[in-house]
């Protein structure tokens, strides 16, 4: 899929509202209507010509034309029809949702989305449809990665965090407390890094599966791995760069309040950092699919994302935020009941004192039940989140770079975009 011409880095993109195929002056006309050729000998045609079939000799008197009857509208033409006297092909103002009327124009749909600019419902539906139709490739990837990550997380919480008490014991030495907290922080950082690696692998492979699903093509787990493997280090570098850049930005804005020991100044810096980090996060949210599908470098993918998001920040923010709310709700519905059940089992074993020393939450039953819930939730939500990002990238390129023409060609659709009246045919 990476070698498909549909994902190649485009040249100068057409301006808004401009579609390829319009006259650009390559035939020598510069978009102007062609002028009639002058006959030999310098003789010129008359500026006003009679209609075809009514040519007469020069100077002959013209017979008066009989009155022409007005064409009668065909049954079903006019309002609510496609092809009446006033519509896009002679049709009237059709019903909402009719072809080429108030609704969306007809478009080819070789895969999970139609090849035209998408709305919110089509993006979410495309992500869910891909998971549903390609579940043999998508769900095993997310299931294996989520299982491995949660097994490591359970072991870390059981053996590295079980000794960390919620409240320190009275008379405990400060150095012992710091050592315990340092070990716990090290374990948490290692656990977070493992989760980061799992997320990167899942995102990379799911991106390749979605890119083929847009064209109506299937993808096996082996194919997705072979296509994603050369880009994993680049994706890791991109993720670390964005994370470290956001952390550095927050630290810089909080630093004046910390140095001056001024709580008010620190709060101002924190409140200024949050919207700035959010703005940058959405601005570079399409860098991951650009890096994977265009084989771009880290810096180039950041520039591509910035260019694609420009002018559509609020729209992409809204779709991303809504997707996050939906996946968070689904995860909560799955995880919280199992976590509560595990905590109840832990309290039954350790009693109320288990809440104070932390043993109620670090027993095997609470940890395993919470991990099972997390595995199920991540298996379902991770591909949907990654898929929405990929489809947003495809949508922005369709809007700005006419990517639908390249995708139609890669999907084997003939006559797509050449004649609006002719439906595309399979190649």
* SS3 sequence of 221-257: HHHHHHHHHHHHHHHHHHHHHHHHHHHHHHHHHHHHH
Residue 72, pLDDT above cutoff 90: no
189 is a domain residue:
yes
Cβ(100)–Cβ(88) under 8 Å? yes
Burial class (CB within 10 angstroms; exposed 0-12, middle 13-18, buried 19+) of 142: buried
203 is a domain residue:
yes
117 is a domain residue:
no
User: How many secondary structure helices (H) and strands (E) does the chain include?
Assistant: 12, 2
Residue 88, pLDDT above cutoff 90: no
Per-position DSSP letters for 260-275, written without gaps between them: HT-HHHHHHHHHHHHH
216 is a domain residue:
yes
**Residue in the structure block whose two tokens are 């199920």:** 376
Please report, rounded to a whole number, the percentage of residues in the chain having pLDDT higher than 90: 46
Lowest-pLDDT choice from 111-125, 154-168, 362-376, 391-405: 154-168
User: Quick check: helix, strand or coil at residue 20?
Assistant: coil
Q: Could you tell me the residue range of the domain that residue 184 belongs to?
A: 137-229+286-411
* pLDDT tens per residue across span 257-280: 888 888 888 899 889 999 999 999
* pLDDT tens per residue across span 222-256: 999 999 999 999 999 999 999 999 999 999 999 98
| Exposure b/e, 43-61, CB count within 10 A at least 16 = b | eeeeeeeeeeeeeeeeeee
Q: Which two tokens stand for residue 249?
A: 């930005």
H/E stretch holding 425: strand 425-426
**Residue in the structure block whose two tokens are 């947003």:** 392
Per-position DSSP letters for 305-317, written without gaps between them: HHHHHTT-HHHHH
Of 192, 193, 183, which is closest to residue 163 (Cα–Cα)? Answer: 183
d(CA 383, CA 247) in angstroms, rounded, equals: 26
Confidence of residue 93 (pLDDT cuts 50, 70, 90): very low
Cβ(309)–Cβ(286) under 8 Å? yes
d(CA 190, CA 100) in angstroms, rounded, equals: 55
Domain count, the chain: 1
More confident residue, 77 or 255: 255
H/E stretch holding 197: helix 174-214
204 is a domain residue:
yes
d(CA 80, CA 114) in angstroms, rounded, equals: 24
Give residue 175's pLDDT.
62
d(CA 358, CA 360) in angstroms, rounded, equals: 6
Cβ(375)–Cβ(395) under 8 Å? no
112 is a domain residue:
no
224 is a domain residue:
yes
45 is a domain residue:
no
Q: Which two tokens stand for residue 244?
A: 């470290």
Give residue 34's pLDDT.
43
User: Quick check: helix, strand or coil at residue 414?
Assistant: strand
How far is the CA of 195 from the CAs of 43, 129, 188, 406, in angstroms?
Answer: 83, 26, 10, 36
**Range 272-295 average pLDDT:** 95
């Amino acid at each position: 899929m990476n070698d498909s011409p549909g994902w190649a880095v485009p040249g100068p993109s057409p301006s808004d509202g401009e579609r390829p195929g319009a006259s650009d002056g390559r035939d020598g006309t510069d978009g102007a209507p062609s002028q009639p050729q002058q006959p030999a000998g310098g003789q010129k045609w008359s500026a006003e010509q009679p209609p075809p079939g009514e040519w007469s000799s020069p100077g002959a008197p013209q017979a008066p034309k009989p009155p022409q009857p007005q064409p009668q509208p065909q049954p079903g033409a006019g309002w609510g029809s496609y092809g009446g006297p006033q519509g896009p092909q002679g049709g009237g103002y059709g019903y909402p949702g009719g072809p080429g009327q108030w609704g969306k124009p007809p478009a080819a749909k070789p895969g999970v989305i139609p090849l035209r600019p998408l709305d919110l419902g089509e993006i979410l539906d495309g992500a869910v449809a891909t998971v549903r139709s390609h579940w043999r490739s998508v769900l095993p990837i997310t299931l294996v990665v989520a299982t491995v990550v949660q097994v490591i997380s359970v072991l870390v919480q059981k053996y590295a965090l079980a000794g960390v008490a919620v409240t320190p014991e009275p008379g405990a030495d400060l150095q012992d407390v710091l050592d315990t907290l340092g070990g716990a922080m090290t374990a948490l950082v290692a656990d977070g890094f493992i989760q980061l690696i799992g997320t990167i692998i899942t995102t990379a492979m799911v991106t390749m599966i979605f890119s083929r699903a847009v064209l109506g093509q299937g993808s096996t787990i082996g194919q997705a791995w072979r296509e994603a493997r050369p880009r994993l280090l680049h994706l890791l570098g991109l993720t670390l760069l964005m994370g470290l850049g956001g952390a550095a930005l927050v630290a810089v804005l909080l630093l004046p309040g910390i140095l001056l020991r001024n709580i008010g100044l620190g709060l101002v810096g924190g409140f200024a950092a949050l919207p700035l980090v959010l703005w940058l996060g959405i601005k570079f949210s399409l860098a991951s699919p650009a890096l994977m599908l265009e084989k771009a470098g880290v810096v180039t993918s950041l520039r591509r994302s910035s260019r694609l998001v420009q002018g559509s920040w609020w729209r992409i923010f809204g779709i991303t935020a809504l997707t996050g709310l939906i996946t968070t709700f689904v995860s909560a519905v799955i995880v919280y009941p199992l976590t509560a059940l595990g905590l109840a089992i832990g309290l039954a074993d350790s009693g109320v004192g288990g809440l104070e020393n932390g043993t109620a939450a670090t027993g095997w039953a609470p940890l395993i039940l919470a991990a099972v819930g997390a595995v199920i939730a991540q298996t379902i939500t991770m591909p949907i989140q990654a898929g929405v990002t990929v489809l947003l990238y495809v949508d922005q390129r369709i809007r700005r770079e006419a990517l639908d023409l390249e995708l139609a060609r890669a999907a084997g659709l003939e006559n797509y975009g050449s004649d609006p009246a002719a439906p595309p045919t399979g190649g």
